[in-house]
Amino acid sequence: MTEQREKIELEYMLKTSPAILFNRLSTPSGLSEWFADDVSVKGKEFIFIWGESHQSAEQTLRKENKLVRYTWLDDEMDGSWFEFQINVDELTGDVALVVIDHVEPEEVEDSKELWNQQVDVLKHGLGSA
């Protein structure tokens, strides 16, 4: 059993619509544009492929244009999950992506940097960079 994971929460402002962003966060084709090299799906199980490695997660929570959560199915991940939330400012209409992840305490800074890099790719793909 690994030590307790630490929750990190990161927020990114994006120039896009909630519907377009949700598609990038919740579908294999959308996720493969920025999150993994390739993504396939079998039922609720998403298989994320990075080079020679792959990990499986189940889409355990989904609210159209609002949020999507993936729970890791790999044993070493202890059922931890990561989540994407889409927040829209009622006054300005600004769209924010909130990433919530659970990481090993010694990996917090590396994980934040990795999310920053991946979201930069997402922003670029959305023309929001």
User: Can you state the angle between helices 18-26 and 108-126, rounded to 10 degrees?
Assistant: 120
Q: What's the total number of domains in the chain?
A: 1
Is residue 114 assigned to a domain? Answer: yes
Q: Give dist(CA 73, CA 75) in Å, integer.
A: 6
In CATH, what number is assigned to the domain containing residue 109?
3.30.530.20
Categorize the per-residue pLDDT at 81 as very low, low, confident or very high, splitting at 50, 70 and 90.
very high
Whole-number pLDDT of residue 5: 87
User: Rounded distance, CA 19 to CA 9, Å?
Assistant: 22
Q: Which range marks the domain in which residue 120 is found?
A: 6-24+60-126
User: What is the structure's pLDDT at 51?
Assistant: 93
pTM for the predicted model, two decimal places:
0.91
Domain membership flag for residue 1: no
